[in-house]
Structure 1
Amino acid sequence: MAPSHTSVFTPMAAELPPGISDSGLRTILVDVADNHVAAPKGKDQAGLEAVVADARSHGIPLSIVVIPGNPGHDSNLRDLATEVGKREHGTVLVLSDDWVGTYSDSISRVTLEWAEDYAKGRQGESVESARVFVDHLAEPESVSWTAITSVIVVGTVLAVGGLHWVKVRRARAEAADVVGASAARAVD
């Protein structure tokens, strides 16, 4: 029997950033449970706590984890955020020197990644990155997709109705012309 050439893609297992073992994850979880911030010594703990408090005042249940350096892959940060989020719930922001990883059980992935884009590349300024991230999440949505969709649907219905009305009038006019022409021929 010939070998099958069917390809099956399997998802890769979640991988924590290098240097963070299961015990390191437990340490992070204990630190996050205390004040919603886990950061290495030397990072601005008070500034990060202020960002968390501001986010929570906007209804965003935020926890922040800061890791030193940059992991091998930026996806490791998202994996760490997911692991923390499974236990802490809410929204988790994981920051490295230049990258950002997020998880949320209440905010869409699209919105998270939009806010991530603005928070990346801050050269280890974790408070600034966190502030930018929260500011973009708390910013009211400038485009109402519901309103845009409604306008398009109503416009389409009006266009179809208008075309139907024109078609009916044209058909009646043509029918009247045919009847008028037939009557004129009958008189002749």
Structure 2
Amino acid sequence: MTVSRTSVFTPMKAELPPNTDLKAIIADLADDHVAAPAGRDKQGLIDIAADARERGIQLDIIVVQGNPGIEANLRDLANEVGKIEHGTVVVFSDDWVGTYSDQFTRGHLEWAEDKAKYRGPDHTTEAARVFVDRLEQPETVSWTVITLVILGVLIATIGGLYLVKVRRAQGRAGERTPV
């Protein structure tokens, strides 16, 4: 019998969307922080990126044609560009969004992504505006606080059940002693 020592947790190599030229994207981002194919509202995206930068979000916007095989390819592309450009990178396909940021938490990015998805290829500018608007909103959910509250309720419940058990045991012991 042969035992394999291959780990199932080995990270996979980043896989970019098909027909993606990383060098061309980086070059296209250099002048206006937008890399988009012809036919997309590039000027609208340039305006959104410039507005975001004025508000302190170092944003780069990338648009790819169609949808890649899997949505994770968009995040891989955003990560690769983010290693070079830094700041916040958002990649739009026809229906999906992938992001990278050294400024925002992954949870905040995904919250902003959720409202920007599934808008179709003719609404990339609208999706970018929604994404930036959501990034500008403060994070309203503190998962640390929620976890601590749940943990506190759990500990209180366990403590309460223990007290009930102790009192029942004392009550039964009192019933057994002859008077």
What is the TM-score with the length of structure 2 in the denominator?
Answer: 0.76
Other structure's SS at 1:15 match: coil
- Counting aligned pairs with the same residue, the percent is 58
Q: Is the 8 A contact 2:108 2:139 kept in 1?
A: no
Q: Is the 8 A contact 1:74 1:101 kept in 2?
A: yes
In structure 1, the gaps of 5 or more residues are: 160-188
Aligned length: 152
Question: Is 1:121 equivalent to 2:118 in the alignment?
Answer: yes
Of 26, 47, 50 in structure 2, the residue corresponding to residue 50 of structure 1 is 47
Kindly provide the amino acid, as one letter, of the partner of residue 55 in structure 2. Answer: H
Kindly provide the amino acid, as one letter, of the partner of residue 65 in structure 2. Answer: P
Q: Is the 8 A contact 1:14 1:76 kept in 2?
A: yes
Kindly provide the amino acid, as one letter, of the partner of residue 17 in structure 1. Answer: P
What's the CA shift for 1:6? 5.0
Q: Is the 8 A contact 2:34 2:62 kept in 1?
A: yes
* Distance in 2 (alpha carbons) for counterparts of 1:112 and 1:127: 18
Q: Is the 8 A contact 1:115 1:137 kept in 2?
A: yes
Question: Which sits farther off after the overlay, 93-102 or 46-55?
Answer: 46-55
Instruction: Give deviations 1:36-83, integer Å, cap 9, x for gaps.
Output: 000001111110011112211221100000011100011110011111
Q: Is the 8 A contact 1:33 1:88 kept in 2?
A: no
Q: Is the 8 A contact 2:90 2:100 kept in 1?
A: yes
Instruction: Give deviations 1:123-172, integer Å, cap 9, x for gaps.
Output: 111101110100000013334668x57x96xx99xx9xxxxxxxxxxxxx
Question: Is 1:71 equivalent to 2:68 in the alignment?
Answer: yes
* Distance in 1 (alpha carbons) for counterparts of 2:73 and 2:142: 33
Instruction: Give deviations 1:86-137, integer Å, cap 9, x for gaps.
Output: 1111000000000000011121111111111111000111101110100000
Other structure's SS at 2:11 match: coil
Aligned to 1:178: none
Aligned to 1:172: none
Of 135, 139, 142 in structure 1, the residue corresponding to residue 137 of structure 2 is 139
* Distance in 1 (alpha carbons) for counterparts of 2:42 and 2:111: 25
CA RMSD in angstroms, aligned pairs only: 2.4
Other structure's SS at 1:73 match: coil
Question: Which sits farther off after the overlay, 3-12 or 89-98?
Answer: 3-12
Alignment of 1:8-157 (within 5 A): 8-9=7-8, 10-20=10-20, 24-124=21-121, 125-143=123-141
Aligned to 1:164: none
Q: 1:95 to 1:8 in 2, by over 3 A?
A: same
* Distance in 1 (alpha carbons) for counterparts of 2:62 and 2:105: 20
In structure 2, the gaps of 5 or more residues are: 157-179
What is the TM-score with the length of structure 1 in the denominator?
Answer: 0.72
Kindly provide the amino acid, as one letter, of the partner of residue 35 in structure 1. Answer: D
